[in-house]
Structure 1
Amino acid sequence: MLLELSRIQIPPGQRVVLQDITWQEFERVLEELGEHRAARIAYENGLLEIMAPLPEHEDNKEIIGDLIKDLLEELDIEFRSLGSTTYKSEGMLKGIEPDQCFYIQNEPAIRGKKRLDLSIDPPPDLALEIDVTSRTHRSIYAALKVPELWRFENGNLQINILRQDRYEESPESSIFPNLPLSEAIPRYLRESKIVGRNKALKAFRQWVKEQIDLLRSVD
């Protein structure tokens, strides 16, 4: 397996799917690929997918991740962003690497930890998937009990909330209630490609402040 894997070249935007991969082989693949790489993996019941993202994928991931961070900062909510950390469970035979992930409500539980173990640590509160060249593995996220999954595809943001072990699409986030993020996030992402990242993020921060003031006036 290791020799075969070392010979595989995955062009950007393509994916390789390997069947009948044992958990031990999956662990060896992760070790060989290493932590500092562009490729993303998904593993479920012996099926291993390795995907090499396109530059567009990475650009959208970074900007949307920055928008989420700005949102959390403006709301004065402590958080921890762990990017494409590998989350896995041998008992469930599942593993996934989100494009971005955030600990928000569960941030205090993992604060300062260098290594996470889902057998004792909680999963991230929010995972982000950019579906430019890959597909979202909802069943893996649901099994790992990630409460909220955001999926960005074709310029649209879909918010999925875990209810009774299944994701249901929602018009708004349970983490950020009363904020029209499914419209705002794509809009400011588009704006970043016209006016530039810094101007778009600054405008988004101003929008968040206005939303906070609006919600306070209603209360």
Structure 2
Amino acid sequence: MATTISVVKPISQMHFAPGSVVTISNVTWQEFETILQELGQKRTSRVAYYQGTLEIMVPLPEHEIPRDFISDIVKTLLRAKGVRYQPFGSTTFKNHGAAGVEPDACFYIQNYQTMIGRRRLEPGDPPPDLAIESDVTSKTTIEAYESVGVPEVWIYNSGKLTIYLLQAKKYTKSETSPTFPQIPITELIPQLVERNWQVGSLQALEEFEETLPNLKF
């Protein structure tokens, strides 16, 4: 009679290829917290957790360029608009016991003063006002953001930008961003990212900065 042997291997010792997405079901909150500790802070993978489902995503190299560039565009627009902000990178945001998510980039805008000087999140800290994801279409990720309560999420995928706004604790898609209500963000970002691929990040950003006087804020 065959014998089945269970092999338990720490997540931190597993190697995931770039571009891979691993989904694990029936993960308890305590297990999720343990996995986060195992993975550590210095890693390329991103995680999303919602009500027992854990996803571990390893971005492709080409994922990094749009992510960083879109983040630079947001900073440029906020400065041009005269709005202060505090970026918070890929911090793990949690709704304890229910959800956890790590954006590619995020910004505190309304609550930026609260987060100045923060080296880590503290109990009672608000979620970021704007989160950015590149090449993510996961339902688990969207549900995690809903649970955490991020008001605005941008997802750039396959040359298209989708804006999600939190209304009555559920996301609805929007063609406009309340952060930049008079700017056609869903048209502008894909155009700028494509230009980035053509001439590089620095030149694309310089060209964009030259157009700022023509934008209506």
Give per-residue Cα distances to partners, 1:126-184, cap 9 Å, x unaligned. Answer: 0111126x625221111111110111111011111111111111111011111111111
Give the whole-Å Cα distance in 2 for the aligned partners of 1:185 and 1:31: 35
Q: 2:132 matched to which residue of 1?
A: 128
Retained in 1: the 8 A contact 2:95–2:147?
no
Select 2:184's aligned residue among 180, 186, 191.
180
- What is the SS of the residue equivalent to 1:3? coil
In the other structure, the counterpart of 1:159 is 163
Displacement, 1:209? 2.3
Matches within 5 A, 1:1-219: 3-91=9-97, 93-117=98-122, 119-131=123-135, 135=138, 137-212=141-216
**1:2–1:32 Cα contact (<8 Å) kept:** no
Q: Which segments of structure 1 move beyond 3 Å, counting only runs of 4 or more? A: 1-4
Change (3 A) 1:43 1:2: farther
Q: Give the % identical residues.
A: 41
Q: Distance in 2 between matches of 1:129 and 1:140?
A: 13
Amino acid at match of 1:28: T
In the TM superposition, residue 54 of structure 1 has moved relative to its aligned partner by 0.3
TM-score, normalised by the number of residues in structure 1 = 0.90
> The residue matched to 1:53 in structure 2 has which SS?
coil
Residues 52-72 of structure 1, C-alpha deviations (whole Å, 9 max, x = no match): 110111111111111111111
Question: Residue type matched to 1:23 in 2?
Answer: W
The 1-side partners of 2:186 and 2:211 are apart by: 14
Give the aligned residue type for 1:124: P
How many residue pairs are counted as aligned between the two chains? Answer: 210
Which whole-Å deviations, capped at 9, do the CAs of 1:161-210 have from their partners, x for residues lacking one?
Answer: 11111111111101111111111111111111112211110121222321
CA RMSD of aligned residues (A): 1.7
Q: How far apart are residue 2 of structure 1 and its match?
A: 7.5
Gaps of 5+ in 2: 1-6
